Amino acid sequence: MTTPTSRRQFFKNTGAVSAAAMMGGTGLSACGGSGGVAALTADEQLALTATQALAAYKAGSLTATAYVTNLINRAKSLSDLNGMISIDEAGALAAAKQVDADRAAGKSLGVLAGLPIVVKDNINTKGMKTTGGTSSLRNFQPKTNAPSVQKLIDAGAIVLGKSNLHEWAFGITTTNFTLGIDPITKEATRPGKNPYDTSRIPGGSSGGTAIAVAARFAPAGLGTDTGGSTRVPASFCGIAGFRPSVGDGAGQGRRYLDTATDALPISTTRDTVGPMGRTVADIALLDAVITGSAVPTAKALKGLKMGIPAAFWADLEDSVKTVAEAAKKKLADAGVVFVEADLTGIMALNDTVSFPIALHEPVAAIPAYLSANSAPVTTVAQVQAGLASPDVQGAFGAIAGDVFAAAYDAAMVPTTGGRAQLQKLYKDYFAAAGVECVLFPTTLLAAPKIDAAKGSSEVRYTVGGVAKTGDTFGTCIRNTDPCTNAGIPSLSIPAGLTAGGLPVGMEIDGPLGSDSNLLAIGMGIEAVWGSIKAPAI
């Protein structure tokens, strides 16, 4: 039997190596491992990150069947968190048994062979329903997988099921009324719950994936991001979330191949699939498989220049500011050089672009998606009629009325429109400041309380000892939204816990197309900050 000391050494060793080492360098190939090592306990399995799980397979201390079974049992036992909309138990176990059989037979295996993941329930999956968390698509089953999902499956990943989300991904709380409404109070009875404090939101719209990863019933998964939907829940739930480059609008710089007909759309300009995991190394691994690129290695931080834009550090909740400043000091101690240069005027400029894009593009994008996928409904009006969440009904009212059409046309004018100006502001900033990324807290505040009555309304927090209130949606996405309209890559990394035990994430944004470098920087930061304590569930 393996001694406790050797078990600790296994976790230490696998935690220290990069995702590239897990893949045998920069190539995307892997073969079955050897046996002779005692099996990990159920609790040890739950603690595994994606890269550690793959290492355990190679070491012979873990089988896919045992791991998948354990994770599914964990998900069932924590169903009150409302992290999953559906679990494909039969399909996942069949896939796991096949991986184990192929490994035992010495067959060549994909680099992710046996890795369980969850997929947000707005991303197309063949053989599994894609409901968008809304009643009009409750029985909808696409004919094909979205490209990102297919790439992961081709590499051997096993989809455990579809994760919960804010209805149609149109919100930031994952308080989804479609899952249940009290007939008397009309309140949501099954809101997504934060594993660190179940009275609080997990963030959204990819809240289910964040719940699954944070609560240890999946090591990693996929979300989508329009204005912050991978990074806000990552920050609130103490995991990492990535938004890849979506391009400059002229076909340059798009990182992933998923289109507006591969996932339920909001904005053809801004939407993207994005990986989520407990470590940046795990995200880098999934990103490499999806894009066919080399896995980056952690970047040395000594001498690395990071911008500190004051606009993104203003009005922070006191508890978040404390964690953010401590995290910043650790990076300074590691040799990071901070450049105190602001992105002047960015918030006002972003305001001229954000809603016009997000609430006009669905007018055409939603019917196009429904038609391309032979969905049971075909129009925005039919989708709107089936909505259960009050805040999403409000958003769809603006879409149905197309109230932002004129503002959209102005925002999208080449060179002089708001989006072009925003892209130029970022491009000029990175060049003039000579920085590889900017650093700031992902969200202004830690996870707010669940609003079961409205889904999203008002948040209260303290800045400099002074009580403040703000719109939940606008407050939560203030820092995550601007980069989405510019199309540049963004990564949220867990930085620590508040005195009250709530996670705080820090975000780094980089120039268009600098995704691999941004992930390498993130891996370097992760090594300095270390991991945060798992939720006590």
- Is there a contact between 67 and 114 (Cβ–Cβ < 8 Å)? yes
Closest-CA residue to 239 (of 196, 291, 288, 286): 196
134: tokens are: 């809304």
Side-chain half-sphere exposure of 433, counting CA atoms within 13 A: 26
Please give the C-alpha separations between residue 312 and each of 87, 94, 345, in angstroms, as whole numbers. Answer: 38, 47, 11
Closest-CA residue to 401 (of 373, 381, 387): 381
Residue reference for tokens 């329903």: 129
Would you call the peptide bond into 79 cis, given omega within 30 degrees of 0 as the criterion?
no
Cα 232 from Cα 206, distance rounded (Å): 9
Tell me which residues are annotated as active site: 120, 205, 229
Residue type, 64: A
Would you call the peptide bond into 6 cis, given omega within 30 degrees of 0 as the criterion?
no
360: tokens are: 């006009």
- β-bridge mates for residue 116, sequence order: 158
- Is there a contact between 428 and 301 (Cβ–Cβ < 8 Å)? no
Please give the C-alpha separations between residue 55 and each of 5, 114, 165, 263, in angstroms, as whole numbers. Answer: 18, 11, 31, 32
- Is there a contact between 378 and 370 (Cβ–Cβ < 8 Å)? yes
What per-residue string of b and e applies to 178-190 under the rule 16 or more CB within 10 Å gives b?
Answer: bbebeeeeebbeb
Cα 97 from Cα 66, distance rounded (Å): 9
Residue type, 269: T
Closest-CA residue to 12 (of 49, 37, 63, 58): 49
Closest-CA residue to 359 (of 448, 464, 226): 226
Cα 433 from Cα 265, distance rounded (Å): 35
> Rounded to 5 degrees, what are φ and ψ at 498?
-70, 170
Cα 517 from Cα 185, distance rounded (Å): 50
Cα 505 from Cα 491, distance rounded (Å): 10
Burial of 1 (0-12, 13-18, 19+ CB in 10 A): exposed
405: tokens are: 């059409």
Cα 283 from Cα 179, distance rounded (Å): 29
Please give the C-alpha separations between residue 180 and each of 190, 335, 470, in angstroms, as whole numbers. Answer: 6, 50, 27
Please give the C-alpha separations between residue 511 and each of 235, 425, 484, in angstroms, as whole numbers. Answer: 21, 11, 12
